Amino acid sequence: AAGSVGSVVRRFLAEYGSGTSSRLKVLDAYLLYVMLTGALQFGYCLGVGTFPFNSFLSGFISAVGSFILGVCLRIQINPQNKGEFQGISPERAFADFLFANTILHL
Amino acid sequence: MMLLLLPAITMDCNQECICLLSLTPGRRLCLVAALLLLLVGAQALAPSHHLTARDLARLRAALERPFTDLQAAYYSIVGLHSLGLRVADEKAACNFVKSHVDSSSVDSLFYAAQSIRVLSGCEVTISNETRELLLAAVSEDSSITQIFHAVGALSSFGLPLASQEALSALTARLSKEENVLATIQALETASYLSQQADLSGIVEEIEDLVARLDDLGGVYLQFEEGIETTALFAAAAYKLSDHVGTEPAMKEEQIIQLMNAIFSKKNFETLSEAFSVACAAGSLSHNRYHLPVVIVPDGPAAVSHHQPVLRLQVTNVMSKPLTQASVKLDYAKSASTKATVLQQTAFTLSGEVFELNFMNVKPASGYYDFSISVDGDNRFIANRVELKVKVSTEVGITNVDLSTVDKDQSIAPKTTRVAYPAKAKGSFTADSHQNFALSFQLIDVNSGADLIPHQTFVRLHNQKTGQEVVFVAEPDSKNVYKFELDTSERKTEFDSASGTYTLYLIIGDATLENPILWNVADVVIKFPEEDVPSTVQSKNLFVPKPEIKHLFREPEKRPPTVVSNTFTALILSPLLLLLILWIKIGANISNFSFAPSTIVFHMGHAAMLGLMYVYWTQLNMFQTLKYLAILGGVTFLAGNRMLAQKAVKRTH
């Protein structure tokens, strides 16, 4: 069983490395970064308590929000999904991403 | 007041008259009579204000100021005349009026005319132009004030006046000017017109004006325009009624309420106010229909053996004694027992005061309700009053016995008799096996009857600690006062402080002329030893209390700085990871075209991020939104352009 999990993971990584365009990989790296930041914040809060609560909330929600917007952008940019996003060009998706991020961080 | 009258009725009927359950025809009639008289009694409002001698002096001083102009002269001269007084120097007043009159002004002529009429030995001749001017003013085109002044001037100068014409002008004007002051002036004007003219229309205005008065708490009746207008109304209404010969349409209660309102003002701000009150006072003291009577006791309404005579001042509103009246006591009832002690007795006139020797009937001490009526002139109103009279007496203490009573009742009680105001010799002891007892009787020195005063206190004062404890002595069925001190029962009041206490007896009541504070004896009180308190602390309430220190809100627990700093560094590590990954993937900016829109876009975007930082440190939401709108707009346009170009490039 451990072996099959390991082989599945290895297979996935190989396919991912070859199948996804570099643009998407860049985005994925960004998403990974955001997720790690959010997780670390949450872990810190669990560790040392919720003071100051405001700071924890703002940091965590910012991380989560950015992650979600990044995911949206990735979905919209992916050429394999072009059928579902007829009127939205990648440039438009990127512009939406920027705008939404601005509003989130306001 | 109504309750007082009800017993008066039941005096004639049987005592069971009030009971509604058994209503035989005779008793039903009683009840109806009682109800009727209740209604009558309900209207018996007593005057609360009138012009006392001091008020009169103040009013006179207000009116006797030196004349500043003709109108002031008019107010002073005619005002003083209404009060029955004369101006100090009539010749000077006359000269003043004659020198200040302005023959071209109707108002000026009116003031001059009224003043001259009142001053004796003052004559003036009127030229034809003046007469023409005055007659021309009496028309529909002039205001009511003009008509009033013109008619008044013509009448006072003794010039002929066309009453019918004046009346029609007045009536026509009244329908246009509806305010209260104009109507009052119309009433005054009508009082100068001949009685041949039909003045009933104007007389009806009195009733309308009465309806416009405001009732304040059932005690006062006045116009919302103020006391001055109310006083002028009273004067005008009576003047017109006397002139026409019909009684003014005002109920007795309303007249008393008017009186209360007008004479409630004791200080007069303006001369016209003083004048109006003077006119009202004059008209309420001399008119053909209603004379309010003021009945006040001379000094306090109290009688005693030293002062057995009840004195009453019976005057009109200007405090002038009505010596022609006959004053009668209808009944005098005890306030507590409701028994009539005296009825249908006349007061005797002594000088200017009416007197009655009430102590002749030897009343018991207490309060009595007197009902007094004043007759002699059927113009009198408010001539029935209820008065509360106090009868005082002196108290005497008799049969004072001090004794120590053994609790086991094995030894007979030792009794010592003390006479007031001596002090008992020797001291008495109260401890765990004997009580201290005190008994006495209170009698009315003059009549010998038993008295139950309000305050019968026994005060024990500790000489050393300054403590004092007060008890109430209660009378038993035979009106003998008893007080017993049981040390075991009364521990708490004394705080178990043993020692020598001085015993005082305090007797007091409103109807006693000699309240008593008597040091009767010394009592040594011994409390059981096991309850001796540490020290008797005098409960001083006025020392500073312990200071309360303010506890500031404790700051919340924070993790140590090391941990926080470590974590901050930790948080930045994913950023590092991101950069590494990006480089590894091969993200680059090789496609960066230096088109203006691109540059603008990137600058704008950077500016927006910068704005976020500034927002965090300095700005508030509104300012940020303002800047963001500008920057965002620019960035959006540039970005749009740039992305469009990118899209074009891509599709190619």
End-to-end CA gap in chain B:
112
Confidence label for B280 from pLDDT (cuts 50, 70 and 90): very high
Chain A contact set for B578 (CB, 8 A): 29-30, 32-33
Long-range contacts at B491-496 (CB < 8 A, ≥ 24 apart)? B491/B527, B491/B531, B493/B469, B494/B460, B494/B462, B494/B467, B494/B469, B494/B525, B494/B527, B495/B467, B495/B533, B495/B536, B496/B527, B496/B528, B496/B531, B496/B532, B496/B533
| B559–chain A Cβ distance below 8 A for any pair | yes
Q: 3-class DSSP state for residue B461? A: strand
Query: For chain A, what are the domain ranges?
Result: 21-105
Nearest to B574 among A22, A36, A92 (CB): A36
3-state secondary structure of B111: helix
Residue B555 in contact with partner chain A when CB distance is under 8 A: no
Tally A–B CB contacts below 8 A. Answer: 70
Closest CA to B442 of B382, B377, B381, B507: B507
Give the per-residue pLDDT at B532.
Answer: 54
Residue of B nearest to A48 (CA): B559
Task: Compute chain A's Rg from CA coordinates.
Answer: 17
Q: How many whole angstroms separate alpha carbon B540 and alpha carbon B533?
A: 17
Q: Strands B294-297 and B309-315, how do they pair?
A: antiparallel
pLDDT of residue B11: 47
C-alpha B202/C-alpha B191 separation (Å) is 10
Rounded-to-5 percentages of helix, strand, coil across chain A = 85, 0, 15
The pLDDT score that the predictor gives to residue B398 is 85
CB contact under 8 A, B581 and A32: yes
- Residue B325: the pLDDT is 87
User: Could you say which residues from 39 to 68 on chain A have a Cβ atom under 8 Å away from some Cβ of chain B?
Assistant: 40-41, 44, 48-49, 51
Residue pLDDT, tens place only, B615-637: 888 888 888 888 888 888 888 88
At residue B230, the pLDDT reads: 93
A106 touching chain B per CB within 8 A: yes
Per-residue pLDDT reduced to its tens digit, A33-91:
889 888 888 888 887 777 778 888 888 999 999 999 888 888 888 777 777 777 777 77
Provide the 10 A C-beta neighbour count for residue B545: 6
Whether chain A has a CB inside 8 Å of the CB on B244: the answer is no
Beta bridge partners of B523: B428, B501
In the predicted structure, residue B235 carries a pLDDT above the cut 90 = yes
Which residues in chain B are closer than 8 Å to A51, comparing Cβ atoms?
Answer: 556-558
Least confident of B162-171, B257-266, B333-342, B595-604: B595-604
In the structure, what pLDDT confidence band is assigned to residue A29 with cuts at 50, 70 and 90? confident
Q: Considering only alpha carbons, which residue of chain B is nearest residue A17?
A: B585
Contacting residues of A for B625, CB less than 8 Å apart:
106
- Cβ atoms of B54 and B82 within 8 Å: the answer is no
Q: Is B259 or A20 the better-scoring residue by pLDDT?
A: B259
Q: Quick one: which of B415, B402, B398, B399 has its CA closest to B520?
A: B402
3-state SS string for B295-317: EEECCCCEECCCCCEEEEEEECC
Strands B427-430 and B516-525: parallel
Verify whether the Cβ–Cβ distance A98 to B644 is below 8 Å.
no
Mutate to test the interface with A, among B577, B609, B643 (most CBs of A within 10 A): B643
Question: So what's the pLDDT on residue B38?
Answer: 47
Question: Hey, is the C-beta of A8 within 8 angstroms of any chain B C-beta?
Answer: no
Are B356 and B435 in contact, with CB atoms under 8 Å apart? no
Mean pLDDT throughout B223-229?
90
DSSP string, B256-298: HHHHHHHTT--S-SSHHHHHHHHHHHHHHHS-SS-EE-EEEES
- List, for residues B414-466, the tens digit of each pLDDT value: 788 888 888 888 788 888 788 888 888 888 888 888 888 888 999 988 888 88
Q: Per the CB < 8 Å rule, is B587 touching A26? A: yes
Query: Locate tokens 């006046």: which residue?
Result: B161
- Cross-chain Cβ contact A91/B644 below 8 Å: yes
For residues B228 and A75, the model is more confident at B228
The confidence score (pLDDT) of residue B165 equals 87
> Which one of B570, B636, B643 has the shortest CB-CB distance to A40?
B570
Query: Is 90 exceeded by the pLDDT of residue B276?
Result: yes
Mean pLDDT of B378-407: 87
- Mutation site for A-interface testing, chosen from B553, B581, B641, B652 by largest number of A Cβ within 10 Å: B581
Report the residue of B553, B567, B575, B649 to disrupt the A interface, i.e. the one with the largest count of A CBs within 10 Å.
B567
Chain A interface, best mutation among B564, B579, B582, by max A CB count within 10 A? B582
B557-578: average pLDDT: 80
A13 at the B interface (CB within 8 A)?
A: no
- With contacts defined as CB-CB under 8 Å, which chain A residues touch B557? 49, 51
Answer yes or no: do A95 and B581 touch at CB < 8 A. no
Closest residue of B to A42, CA-based? B571
Predicted confidence at residue B10, as pLDDT, reads 45
Distance in Å, alpha carbon of A52 to nearest chain B alpha carbon? 9
Q: Above 50 in pLDDT, residue B134?
A: yes
B217: left (phi over 0), alpha (psi -120 to 50) or beta: left
Residue B305: per-residue pLDDT: 86
In whole angstroms, give the CA distance from residue B487 to residue B527.
6
Average pLDDT over residues B172-190: 89
pLDDT at B16: 44
Contacts of residue B487, defined as CB under 8 A and 6 or more positions apart, other chains included, come to B430, B431, B432, B435, B525, B526, B527, B528
Q: Note the pLDDT of residue B592.
A: 67
**Percent over 90 (pLDDT), chain B:** 8
Average pLDDT for residues B257-265, to the nearest whole number? 90
| 3-state DSSP assignment of residue B119 | coil
Amino acid at B400: V
Confidence of residue B14 (pLDDT cuts 50, 70, 90): very low
pLDDT higher than 90, residue B652:
no
Contact B581 A29 (CB under 8 A): yes
Is A5 in CB contact (< 8 Å) with chain B?
A: no
pLDDT tens by residue, B88-124: 888 888 888 888 888 888 888 899 889 888 888 888 8
Strand-by-strand arrangement of the B414-418 sheet? B414-418, B395-406, B434-444, B480-485, B474-475
Average pLDDT, chain B: 83
Asked if B602 reaches chain A (Cβ–Cβ under 8 Å), the answer is no
